[in-house]
């Protein structure tokens, strides 16, 4: 309702201002008597127009994330060096392709070692030299090809011959 009054007030002020000009009035012509013509023009009453609301919806669309592949767990076979100079369960291992073989030293009295006896095993061990495993430490290799990989282990006297046999 207030809007209607505001609109009417603005129209009224506008009409008043339109009639007031700073120019001198033009001379009035003498009217010629004629038949009076009366025309009634209906002025529409302004109606209140409802306020139009514009609703803006913002959608944050992020790119669909690429699913991260779940890593397949790597099977593990552990050989443990003990303080009574044994290897548990055995120094020779029979494993499937892709298995991680772990040599673990649990002998608190001395370090143990493994050493490749051929170039093929040396490629997996990263060297043909002895790989020393201090107490509480471990060394691991993932065997990814079928084959038989010969190595020796110590400090046994004589060194213990062993192998990792990798199968499908």
108-122: pLDDT as tens digits? 999 999 999 999 999
Mean pLDDT of the chain: 83
Q: What is the pLDDT of residue 23?
A: 58
Helix (H) or strand (E) holding 13: helix 2-19
Report d(CA 154, CA 161) in Å as an integer. 9
Average confidence (pLDDT) over 22-40: 60
Whether the Cβ atoms of residue 93 and residue 69 lie closer than 8 Å to each other: no
For residue 139, pLDDT over 90 is answered with yes
Q: What is the pLDDT of residue 64?
A: 72
Q: What is the pLDDT of residue 106?
A: 95
pTM to 2 decimal places:
0.57
For residue 21, pLDDT over 60 is answered with no
Whether the Cβ atoms of residue 136 and residue 83 lie closer than 8 Å to each other: no
What letters, b where the CB count within 10 A reaches 16 and e where it falls short, cover 80-106? bbeeeeebeeebbbebeeebebbbbbe
Q: CATH top-level class for 76-167?
A: mainly beta
Average confidence (pLDDT) over 56-66: 73
Average confidence (pLDDT) over 33-44: 63
Average confidence (pLDDT) over 94-114: 95
């Amino acid at each position: 309702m207030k809007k209607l009054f505001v609109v009417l007030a603005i129209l009224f002020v506008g009409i008043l201002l339109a009639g007031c000009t700073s120019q001198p009035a033009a001379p009035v012509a003498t009217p010629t008597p004629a038949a009076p013509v009366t025309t009634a023009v209906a002025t529409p009453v302004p109606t209140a127009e409802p306020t139009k609301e514009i609703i803006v919806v913002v959608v944050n669309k992020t790119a669909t994330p690429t699913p991260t592949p779940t890593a397949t767990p790597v099977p593990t076979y552990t050989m443990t060096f003990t303080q009574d100079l044994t290897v548990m369960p055995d120094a020779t291992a029979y494993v499937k392709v892709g298995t991680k073989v772990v040599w673990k030293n649990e002998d608190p009295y001395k370090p143990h070692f493994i050493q490749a006896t051929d170039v093929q095993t040396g490629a997996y061990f990263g060297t043909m030299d002895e790989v020393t495993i201090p107490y509480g430490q471990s060394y691991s290799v993932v065997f990814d090809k079928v084959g038989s990989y010969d190595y020796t282990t110590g400090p046994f006297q004589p060194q213990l011959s062993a192998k990792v046999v990798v199968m499908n």
